[in-house]
Chain A
Amino acid sequence: MKLAYWMYAGPAHIGTLRVGSSFKNVHAIMHAPLGDDYFNVMRSMLERERDFTPVTASIVDRHVLTRGSKEKVFENIICKDQQEKPDFILLTPTCTSSILQEDLNNFVERATRQTDSNILLADVNHYRINEFQAADRTLEQIIAFYLDRTAEKIEKTEKPSANILGIFTLGFHHQHDCREIYRLLTDLGIQINQIIPEGCFITDLKKIPEAWFNIVPYREIGLMTALYLEKKYNMPYISTTPMGLVETASWIREISKIVDKNYEEYIDKQTRFISQAAWFSRSIDCQNLTGKKALVFGDATHGAYMTKILAREMGINVCCAGTYCKNDGDWFREQVQGFCDQVLITEDHTQVSNMIAEIEPAAIFGTQMERHVGKRLDIPCGVISAPIHIQNFPLSYRPFLGYEGTNQIADLVYNSFTLGMEDHLLEIFGGHDVKTVITKNLSTDENLVWNREAENELQKIPGFVRNRIKRSTEKFARSKKIKEITVEVMYAAKEALSD
Chain B
Amino acid sequence: METLKFECETGNYHTFCPISCVSWLYQKISDSFFLVIGTKTCGYFLQNALGVMIFAEPRYAMAELEEGDISAQLHDFDELKRLCLQIQKDRNPSIIVWIGTCTTEIIKMDLEGIAPKIEEFIGRPIIVARANGLDYAFTQGEDTVLAAMAHRCPEVSALTNTTNKCIPPLVLFGSLPNTVAQQLTRELEHQGIHISGWLPEARYEELPELGAGVFVCGVNPFLSRTAITLMRRRKCRLIGAPFPIGPDGTRAWLEKICQVFNKTPHNLDERESNIWKNLEDYLSLVRGKSVFFMGDNLLEISLARFLIRCGMIVYEIGIPYMDKRFQASELQFLEKTCQEMSVPMPRIVEKPDNSNQIQRIRAMKPDLVITGLAHSNPLEARGITTKWSVEFTFAQIHGFINARDILELVTRPLRRNNHLNNLGWSKLVNEKSFVF
Residues of chain A whose beta carbon lies under 8 Å from any beta carbon of chain B: 1-7, 10-11, 13-14, 32-38, 40-42, 44-45, 48-54, 56-62, 65, 76, 83-84, 94-96, 99-100, 126-128, 130, 369, 372, 389
Contacts and interface: CB of A to CB of B under 8 A. Distances in A.
Contacts of A61: 11, 134-135
Contact of A59 (B12, B80, B377): B12
A35 B45 contact: yes
Contact of B373 (A45, A126, A372): A45
B435 interface: yes
A100 B106 contact: yes
Given A3-B83, A35-B137, A52 B378 contact: yes
B41 interface: yes
A96 B101 CA distance: 10
Contacts of A14: 44
A65 B106 contact: yes
A226 B164 CA distance: 79
Contact of A41 (B103, B107, B137, B374): B374
A34 B381 contact: no
A1 B83 contact: yes
Given A1-B80, A127-B67, A128-B67, A95 B39 contact: yes
B134 A33 contact: yes
Interface string B24-64: 00000000000001011101110111010011001001111
B69 A1 contact: yes
Contact of B40 (A11, A41, A84): A11
Nearest to A53: B374
Contact of A65 (B18, B82, B134, B136): B134
Interface of B: 11-12, 14-20, 37, 39-41, 43-45, 47-49, 51, 54-55, 58, 61-67, 69-70, 74, 79-80, 82-83, 86-87, 102-103, 105-107, 132-138, 355, 358, 372-378, 381, 428-429, 433, 435-436
A38 B134 contact: no
A151 to B, nearest CB: 34
Contacts of A94: 41
Nearest to B82: A1
B40 A10 contact: yes
Contacts of B428: 50
A60 B106 CA distance: 11
B48 A42 contact: yes
Contact of B66 (A56, A65, A127): A127
Nearest to A48: B377
Contact of B44 (A11, A51, A128): A11
Contacts of A32: 133
B126 to A, nearest CB: 15
A127 B102 CA distance: 15
B17 A84 contact: no
Nearest to B380: A50
A65 B378 contact: no
Contacts of B65: 1
A496 to B, nearest CB: 32
Contacts of B138: 35
Nearest to A35: B17
Nearest to B17: A35
The 9 residue pairs across chains A and B that have the minimum distance between CB atoms: A35-B17, A33-B133, A40-B374, A50-B381, A11-B40, A1-B79, A127-B67, A372-B55, A35-B133
A44 B374 contact: yes
B374 A95 contact: no
Contacts of A34: 11, 15, 17, 133-134, 136-137
Contacts of B58: 5
A37 B138 CA distance: 13
Contacts of A6: 43, 47, 54
A40 B377 contact: no
Contacts of A53: 374, 378
Contacts, number: 166
A348 to B, nearest CB: 12
A10 B12 CA distance: 23
A4 B61 contact: yes
Contacts of B48: 38, 41-42
Most buried by B among A2, A54, A130: A2
20 contacts: A1-B69, A1-B79, A6-B54, A11-B39, A11-B41, A33-B134, A34-B11, A34-B137, A35-B19, A38-B16, A41-B372, A41-B373, A48-B377, A49-B377, A50-B377, A58-B12, A65-B106, A99-B106, A126-B40, A128-B67
A61 to B, nearest CB: 5
Nearest to A11: B40
Given A1-B66, A76-B12, A52 B135 contact: no
Contacts of A127: 39, 66-67, 70
B88 to A, nearest CB: 12
Contacts of A38: 16-17, 44-45, 48-49
Contacts of B378: 44, 49-53
Nearest to A75: B10
B358 A52 contact: yes
A13 B86 CA distance: 30
B64 A35 contact: no
A395 to B, nearest CB: 14
A65 B17 contact: no
Contacts of A96: 39, 41, 102-103, 106
A45 B17 contact: no
Contacts of B39: 11, 95-96, 126-127
B141 to A, nearest CB: 10
B373 A44 contact: yes
A372 B63 CA distance: 23
Given A7-B40, A99-B70, A33 B54 contact: no
A3 B429 contact: no
Contacts of A4: 43, 61-64
Nearest to B49: A38
Contact of A60 (B47, B79, B82, B134): B134
Given A5-B61, A40-B14, A84 B436 contact: yes
A39 to B, nearest CB: 9
Contacts of B80: 1
Nearest to B56: A372
Contacts of B69: 1
A44 B378 CA distance: 7
Contacts of B45: 35-36, 38
Contacts of A83: 355, 435-436
Contact of B429 (A50, A60, A130): A50
A203 B55 CA distance: 44
A5 B62 contact: yes
B12 A57 contact: yes
B63 A1 contact: yes
B427 to A, nearest CB: 10
Contacts of B83: 1, 3
A65 B105 contact: yes
B65 to A, nearest CB: 6
B381 A51 contact: yes
A130 B44 CA distance: 11
B137 to A, nearest CB: 6
Contacts of B44: 7, 10-11, 14, 38
A76 B11 CA distance: 12
Nearest to B83: A3
A10 to B, nearest CB: 5
A44 B58 CA distance: 27
Contacts of B19: 35
Nearest to A12: B40
Contacts of B375: 44, 52
A54 B102 CA distance: 24
A4 B40 CA distance: 9
A255 B433 CA distance: 39
A59 B134 CA distance: 8
A435 to B, nearest CB: 22
Contacts of A1: 37, 63-66, 69, 74, 79-80, 82-83
B175 to A, nearest CB: 19
Nearest to B14: A37
